[in-house]
Amino acid sequence: MPIISELKLAKELIRRPSITPVDAGAINILAKKLKSLGFKCEMMNFKNVKNLYAKLGKSSPNFCFAGHTDVVPVGDLKSWSVNPFSGVIKNKKLIGRGASDMKGSIACFVAALNQFKKIKPKFKGSISLLITGDEEGIAVNGTKKVVEKLKKRKEKINFCLVGEPTNLAKLGQMMKIGRRGSITGYLTVYGTQGHVAYPHKANNPTPVITKILNQISNIRLDRGTKDFQPSNLEVVKINIENTADNVIPAEAKATFNIRFNNKHSSTSLKNKFNKVLKSICDKNQCSFKISYMVSGEAFLTKPNQTTYMIQRIIKKITKIKPKLSTAGGTSDARFIRKISPCVEFGLVGKTMHKINEHVSLSDLKKLKKIYLEILLNYFK
């Protein structure tokens, strides 16, 4: 059997400039390593996106690790202290795009697998990896489609660990057991264009849209729950395309985003907001158009035995008891939770998506240990 080092593999992955949705050979590196460990590797490519479902064993239970090899763009290249795709170590840190989010944690899991197989060449159950090249982008041809395909053929996953960087500053701080939902609303209010000196001959949509935005910003959606912070709406754009100062514009546009907990669904929110829009527009003899983009519904994996086992192991190795949290943005767990309970734990995300993204070498070692112990305990 080969010896797979988490650091070497992380470097190798970072050296592939897999800026979403380009793969640049990253998934093939993993497939090769996993094949050498006896995994059956299945490429699930949709349009221009490469995905991998790799599996060792056939029996139940199936423990799955999920992650993505795509990364966000580097930003201002000149601001980096090293080439973001060279995988350089400086001051006991591995620097490079994807080091934290999340080539580092994938490498830790594969290295842990390598050791697990040495300790337990035979185990009851199976281990799988669901790796996508489309998480940082529109995420249409990645995990979403792989999950649909697995569901169709009744592939059973009993538990899924997602390796996203869940820790804000220190390894061990946080596991994620759910995520808030996200919905974006695109609103246009239509009035009647006219001369600014003859307002009675026109109908200005500007005060109407500001009234709407003010009102929806002040709706208290809920007070939060034991597991979730309160739902929140933010207006992110207001746009009135008007080239003259003596013209009352015909239309005004705005965009708002809502991060919501599991007291709501995207449908219940749409209904709620549409009522407000209609009532204000009716009162002001305006018409409106609204469309929504739902990025994901809110979900929660009620902590079970495996969740607490993972929490115990993290505490044992990092000396910190991780908080079970639902904070932050969305992740691919929003798709996987449709076929399996999901928990997320990975590296420290302090520098993710930033210039000089990095992880400490000691965190990489610890995370590999954590993943190894999770596997040993799960297949006890």
100 and 352 in contact (C-beta within 8 Å)? yes
- 287-346 positions binding Zn ion, by CB under 5 A: none
Instruction: Single out the segment in contact with Zn ion by CB under 5 A; choices: 70-78, 98-106, 185-193, 256-264.
Output: 98-106
Q: Is residue 12 a contact residue for Zn ion (CB under 5 A)?
A: no
Element (H, E) at 58: none
Closest to Zn ion by CB, 134 vs 164, is 164
Of 70, 101, 251, 373, the one binding Zn ion by CB under 5 A: 101
Instruction: Single out the segment in contact with Zn ion by CB under 5 A; choices: 23-31, 94-102, 281-289, 333-341.
Output: 94-102
Out of 134, 135, 164, 344, which one is annotated catalytic?
135
- Binding-site string for Zn ion from residue 157 to residue 186, where x marks contact by CB under 5 A and - marks none: -------x----------------------
- Beta strand residue intervals within the chain, DSSP E: 40-43, 51-56, 62-68, 88-90, 93-95, 126-132, 159-162, 174-176, 178-179, 181-190, 194-195, 232-239, 247-248, 251-260, 287-296, 299-300, 323-325, 342-344, 358-360
- Bridge partners of residue 324, in order along the sequence: 175
Q: What sign does the CA torsion over 128, 59, 117, 378 have?
A: positive
Closest to Zn ion by CB, 139 vs 157, is 139
CA distance 316 to 76: 39
CB of 159 to Zn ion, least distance (A): 20
Could you tell me how many residues of this chain bind Zn ion (CB under 5 A)? 3
Known catalytic membership, residue 70: yes
CB of 10 to Zn ion, least distance (A): 14
| Closest to 254 in 3D by CA, of 182, 185, 191, 183 | 185
Known catalytic membership, residue 332: no
Contact residues: Zn ion, CB under 5 A? 101-102, 164
Residues annotated as part of the active site: 70, 135
